[in-house]
């Protein structure tokens, strides 16, 4: 398989996995309370920068925007990706274009040309992580 094909396979399977996890959590929240997929949290007991995203997405879906923000602001980005990416992948599949792959390579190139942007992203994530550790 070409690297483009593998990229689409990876993206699609991640999106499907994300939706399944979300739906599973939504209808079995009483079972999965306290359980997590994050292996960093399972191994070390400390949350990773993205821990709390599931709670956050669920809070957004039920309209609790304040709770979503306090669970993990990354939930907004995750939900955006979960909703938008399947649509764009669908367009790619139908028209034979490579919009998602183009977006990814563009992003990669920008990050290499402007390390300051990468630094800002890392700084924001670090702040989010410290906040995450503080919340636990």
Partner 1 sequence: MDQQKVDMYIMSNSKFFEAHQIPMLRDMLLQADDSKFLALQTANTKDPTIMIIISLLAGGLGIDRFMLGETGMGIAKLLTCGGLGIWTIIDWFVIMGRTRELNMQKVQMALI
Binding site for partner 1 (CB under 8 A): 10, 14, 17-18, 21, 37-40, 48-51, 53, 74, 77-78, 104-105, 107-108, 111-112, 118, 121, 125
> Measured between alpha carbons, how far is 120 from 136 in angstroms, rounded to an integer?
25
Q: Which is nearer to partner 1, 91 or 103 (CB)?
A: 103
Shortest distance in whole angstroms from residue 2 CB to partner 1: 12
Q: Which is nearer to partner 1, 63 or 87 (CB)?
A: 87
Secondary structure element (H or E) that encloses residue 67, with its range: helix 65-71
Q: Which is nearer to partner 1, 87 or 94 (CB)?
A: 87
Q: Which is nearer to partner 1, 63 or 121 (CB)?
A: 121
Radius of gyration of the chain (CA): 17
CA dihedral 125, 34, 82, 99 (to 10 degrees): 50
> Measured between alpha carbons, how far is 16 from 116 in angstroms, rounded to an integer?
33
Could you list the beta-strand ranges (E) of the chain. Answer: none
């Amino acid at each position: 398989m070409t690297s483009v094909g593998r990229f689409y396979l990876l993206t699609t399977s991640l999106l499907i996995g994300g939706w399944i996890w979300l739906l599973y959590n939504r209808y079995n929240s009483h079972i999965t309370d306290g359980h997590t997929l994050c292996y960093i949290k399972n191994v070390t007991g400390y949350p990773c920068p993205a821990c709390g995203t599931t709670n956050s997405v669920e809070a957004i879906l039920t309209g609790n925007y304040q709770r979503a923000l306090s669970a993990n602001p990354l939930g907004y980005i995750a939900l955006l990706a979960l909703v938008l990416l399947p649509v764009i992948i669908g367009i790619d599949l139908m028209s034979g274009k490579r919009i998602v792959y183009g977006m990814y390579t563009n992003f990669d190139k920008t990050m290499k040309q402007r390390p300051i942007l990468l630094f800002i992203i890392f700084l924001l994530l670090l702040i989010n992580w410290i906040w995450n550790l503080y919340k636990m």
